[in-house]
């Protein structure tokens, strides 16, 4: 619940120095995966009465979402986790990789290796999967705008390993619409983005048939404030937009197979009964859409296949040990109901509200899954909720609400045409959610109730979270520059020219992308070609259309805003900025909405601004205060640069406040460098933050007078 970042970024966990015996490891891995189907799900056996001879259902795939610093360090982490019983990989990429920049691009400064692993070329991808047999692995890659490129690198490495790419199993997330709505790692406008998704789907269907070419992601929709009905409707509308894009590319005979490869990635919150019912509603609605809208007759191709990460939004900085119980309860929502059980589960670590989790923290979350799957009798039974009247009533209510919202989206012309509507709805619903926490209507234990606590031994002392070594960025940049010097430039130029022709024409982008990967093209070069062909895009912020939520104490703050504004001779102007590549904008949006509702004039232009652009806006707008939101861990570099540039521009009298997942030591350092206030996840009372900001401006006005 950090100011300017009321959701969590994906936090990718720490390193390991364990050395594994790979003959044993590979044999164990083959044994675990040999009977899994191509989606990572378990093939259900007929229900048998539990007894000593009964066979359980196979468990879901066990994953941890991980990657950090370098490909080599992330590879060591993956191998260690697989040796501990993880059965699938879930790869986190850093923000430059997600947005199509090389590690030495100016926009990548401070972001390299922070929230995931940097992959700048095929050499990085080789190191990332060294000694991991891709033909036996089920790999999920959380990548969207650059999904075609990262999949091309993956395929190229698999071929180098001697694998038959037709046997590869896994998923690229590849959901660009939710990026416009919530996560922010989009690059291109909607039309070419859908074209790229369609290219991946068509290529995979023909050449990598066991691969899921798109993972419709409602996870970030819930993080952005979506109600269960909105999460259902917005995700399903996105899936329809993609299928409508792909449908003309394949024959009517082949199209049901494409439908059958669409998978989903969802969120499970703390209201686990509602969340379990939401998953059952997803199953029913997807079956209905596949059958009625797309004419898919085979039940297996209408199956709702999904992976899940349970809610990181609800993890608290206060009493973080309580997060263990939250994670467990949320996991039950996606495992208890056999009808709607997840095919793959990844759990956050208990301390992700504080920073990057360590390998031990991730192991604790992995053990949670293993205990449920192997020690309990859950997998011995048929669905526990079939015929339950309370469950059936809730499921039907959720389906009705989702159908109504889907009808509104269809009336607007579909998901792409409705982006502005959906974004505004998310900001509005998130405003209501936060207001309920502030007012105490929604109880968060340890945050707004039962706050008295004993010191936690889990957070005592040094080393409670993983910190990425600042030297990693320089090392990655040096390695990238060495890579460029060592490659065949003629081959690179030829590959880039072929890639550009495909992007500007109608050739499927995957073939030229794989060829470019093998030639040594970098992520930034691939991204540059795509930007030149397709242009770039700025999604709506949703702030202007958000309806004000009532909040106790707002009248007093509004009165103070009026008083200070009269003293200034004009209304308080608050510039909210998001420097760097971090796209987690939910908190910044809520700060902007609350400041507006308090009577301030707010300037908020969305995500991915450079420090220079923010300072220039502060000059042009005559801002009285600047607020910076960063959740990627790059706060030290980017906030410091903004402060330094403001001083150089003569704006040292304009206070700067910063928010995000910022350790106490970093907060002290930032304040010593001139930052007026630092807010972290414990600062959930937006009205108190607003009062702070007005006070800062008031004090500055009095000093100026």
Positions marked active-site: 65, 219-220, 578, 582, 584
Q: Which residue has the tokens 């402060």?
A: 643
Name the DSSP letter for residue 183. I
Name the DSSP letter for residue 145. T
Token pair for 355: 């920073």
C-alpha separations of 12 from 6, 8, 67, 114, 373 in Å: 18, 11, 5, 8, 24
Burial readout 652-668 (b: 16 or more C-beta within 10 A, e: otherwise):
eebbbbbbbbbbeebbe
Please enumerate, as own/partner, the contacts of 18-25 that have beta carbons within 8 Å and a separation of 24 or more. Answer: 18/76, 18/79, 18/80, 18/83, 20/79, 20/80, 20/83, 22/131, 25/79, 25/82, 25/83
Tell which residue, 457, 488, 696, has the closest CA to residue 600: 696
Determine the Cα–Cα distance for residues 74 and 80; give it in Å rounded to an integer.
10
Do residues 310 and 250 make contact, with C-beta atoms less than 8 angstroms apart? no
- β-sheet bridge partners, residue 579: 609
Q: Is 513 left (phi over 0), alpha (psi -120 to 50) or beta?
A: alpha
Do residues 313 and 330 make contact, with C-beta atoms less than 8 angstroms apart? no
Determine the Cα–Cα distance for residues 701 and 404; give it in Å rounded to an integer.
50
Q: Which residue has the tokens 């996840």?
A: 681
Exposed / middle / buried, residue 549 (Cβ in 10 Å: 0-12, 13-18, 19+): buried
Do residues 571 and 599 make contact, with C-beta atoms less than 8 angstroms apart? yes
Tell which residue, 631, 704, 682, has the closest CA to residue 661: 631
Do residues 168 and 211 make contact, with C-beta atoms less than 8 angstroms apart? yes
Determine the Cα–Cα distance for residues 294 and 284; give it in Å rounded to an integer.
15
Tell which residue, 297, 282, 275, has the closest CA to residue 238: 282
Rg (CA), the chain: 25
Tell which residue, 250, 277, 377, has the closest CA to residue 334: 277
Exposed / middle / buried, residue 77 (Cβ in 10 Å: 0-12, 13-18, 19+): buried
Name the DSSP letter for residue 90. E
C-alpha dihedral, 617 to 618 to 621 to 625, nearest 10°: 140
* Ordered alpha helix ranges (H), 334-449: 359-374, 389-412, 419-439
Token pair for 568: 């200034």
Q: How many other C-beta atoms lie within 10 A of the C-beta of residue 161?
A: 14
Determine the Cα–Cα distance for residues 342 and 234; give it in Å rounded to an integer.
19
Determine the Cα–Cα distance for residues 488 and 494; give it in Å rounded to an integer.
10
Determine the Cα–Cα distance for residues 699 and 693; give it in Å rounded to an integer.
10
C-alpha separations of 10 from 68, 235, 270, 509 in Å: 11, 19, 18, 28
Determine the Cα–Cα distance for residues 175 and 201; give it in Å rounded to an integer.
12
Tell which residue, 29, 21, 76, 28, has the closest CA to residue 359: 76
């Amino acid at each position: 619940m950090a100011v300017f970042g009321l959701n969590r970024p994906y936090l990718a966990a720490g390193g390991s120095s364990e050395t594994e015996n790979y003959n044993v490891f590979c044999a164990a891995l083959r044994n675990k995966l040999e009977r899994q189907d191509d989606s990572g799900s378990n093939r259900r056996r007929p229900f048998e009465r539990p007894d000593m001879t009964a066979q359980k259902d196979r468990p879901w795939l066990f994953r941890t979402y991980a990657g950090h610093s370098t490909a080599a360090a992330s590879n060591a982490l993956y191998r260690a986790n697989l040796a501990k019983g993880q059965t699938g990989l879930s790869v986190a990429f850093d923000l430059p990789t997600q947005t199509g920049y090389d590690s030495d691009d100016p926009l990548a400064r401070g972001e390299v290796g922070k929230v995931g692993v940097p992959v700048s070329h095929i050499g990085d991808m080789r190191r990332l999967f060294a000694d991991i047999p891709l033909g036996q692995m089920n790999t999920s890659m959380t990548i969207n705008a650059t999904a075609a490129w990262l999949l091309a690198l993956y395929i190229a490495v698999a071929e180098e390993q001697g694998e038959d790419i037709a046997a590869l199993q896994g998923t690229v997330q590849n959901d660009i619409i939710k990026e416009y709505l919530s996560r922010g790692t989009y690059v291109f406008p909607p039309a070419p983005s859908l074209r790229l998704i369609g290219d991946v789907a068509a290529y995979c269907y023909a050449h990598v048939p066991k691969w899921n070419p798109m993972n419709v992601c409602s996870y970030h929709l819930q993080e952005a404030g979506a109600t269960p009905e909105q999460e259902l409707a917005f995700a399903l509308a996105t899936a329809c937009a993609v299928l409508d894009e792909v449908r003309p590319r394949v024959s009517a005979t082949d199209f049901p197979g494409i439908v059958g490869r669409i998978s989903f990635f969802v969120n499970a919150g703390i209201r686990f009964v509602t969340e379990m019912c939401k998953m059952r509603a997803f199953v029913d609605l997807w079956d209905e859409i596949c059958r009625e809208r797309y004419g898919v007759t085979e039940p297996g191709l209408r199956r709702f296949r999904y992976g899940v990460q349970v809610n990181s939004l609800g993890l608290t900085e206060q009493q973080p040990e309580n997060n263990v119980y939250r994670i467990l309860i949320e996991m039950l929502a996606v495992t208890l109901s056999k009808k709607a059980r997840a095919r793959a589960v990844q759990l956050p670590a208990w301390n992700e509200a504080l920073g990057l989790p360590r390998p031990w923290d991730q192991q604790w979350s992995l053990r949670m899954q293993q205990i449920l799957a192997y020690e309990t009798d859950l997998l011995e039974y048929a669905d526990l909720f079939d015929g339950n009247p309370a469950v059936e009533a809730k499921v039907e209510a959720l389906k009705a609400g989702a159908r109504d919202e889907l009808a509104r989206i269809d009336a607007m012309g579909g998901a792409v045409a409705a982006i502005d509507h959906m974004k505004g709805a998310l900001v509005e619903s998130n405003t209501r959610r936060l207001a309920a926490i502030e007012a105490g209507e929604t109880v968060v234990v340890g945050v707004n109730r039962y706050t008295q606590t004993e010191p936690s031994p889990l957070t005592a002392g040094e080393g409670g979270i993983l910190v990425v070594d600042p030297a990693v960025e320089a090392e990655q940049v040096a390695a990238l520059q060495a890579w460029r010097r060592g490659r065949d430039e003629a081959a690179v130029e030829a590959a880039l020219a072929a890639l550009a022709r495909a992007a500007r024409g109608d050739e499927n982008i995957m073939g030229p992308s794989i060829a470019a990967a093998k030639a040594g093209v970098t992520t930034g070069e691939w991204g540059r070609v795509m930007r030149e062909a397709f242009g770039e895009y700025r999604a709506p912020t949703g702030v202007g259309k958000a309806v004000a939520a009532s909040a106790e104490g707002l009248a007093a703050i509004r009165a103070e805003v009026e008083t200070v504004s009269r003293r200034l001779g004009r209304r308080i102007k608050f510039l909210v900025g998001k420097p760097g590549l971090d796209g987690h904008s939910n908190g910044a949006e809520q700060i902007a909405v609350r400041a507006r509702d308090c009577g301030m004039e707010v300037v908020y232009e969305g995500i991915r601004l450079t420090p220079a652009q923010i300072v220039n806006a502060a000059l042009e707008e005559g801002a009285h205060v600047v607020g910076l939101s960063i959740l990627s861990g790059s706060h030290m570099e980017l906030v410091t640069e903004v402060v330094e540039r403001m001083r150089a521009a003569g704006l040292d009298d304009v206070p700067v406040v910063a928010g995000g997942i910022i350790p106490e030591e970093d907060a002290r350092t930032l304040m010593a460098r001139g930052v007026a206030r630092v807010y972290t996840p414990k600062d959930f009372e937006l009205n108190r933050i607003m009062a702070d900001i007005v006070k800062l401006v008031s004090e500055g006005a009095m000093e100026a007078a």
